[in-house]
Amino acid sequence: MNNKKKLKELENRIDEVLYYVWDPIGVSDEPCARGEYSSYTMTILKYTLTEDIVRITKILSNIETESMGLTMNKEKNEIVAERLVEYKITIENGLK
């Protein structure tokens, strides 16, 4: 993905999905916590660009268990990874 506009759109979508869909600590209803997962966006972007669902799932799971001390929710992490790759494909094919 060489188009800067598309890349920025994907970055924004990843940030939104992490906050509104993934949200392992349950803060998506708190506006003041909007940036809670933003620090993970660029790492996830790297693997979303390669459409590596397995790697994205592993990263999300590691963040949950190692960084947050939570129990892994692998099923949800797979769903989130799949959605991110779907967004990537849609943005790549749809934005001009």
Tell me the three-class secondary structure of the chain, residue by residue: CCCHHHHHHHHHHHHHHHHHHHCCCCCCCCHHHCCCCHHHHHHHHHHHHCCCHHHHHHHHHHHHHHHCCCCCCHHHHHHHHHHHHHHHHHHHHHCC
pLDDT of residue 12 exceeding 60, the answer is yes
**pLDDT tens digit sequence for 22-66:** 999 999 999 999 999 999 999 999 999 999 999 999 999 999 999
Percentage of residues in the chain having pLDDT higher than 90: 94
User: Across residues 18-22, what is the average pLDDT?
Assistant: 98
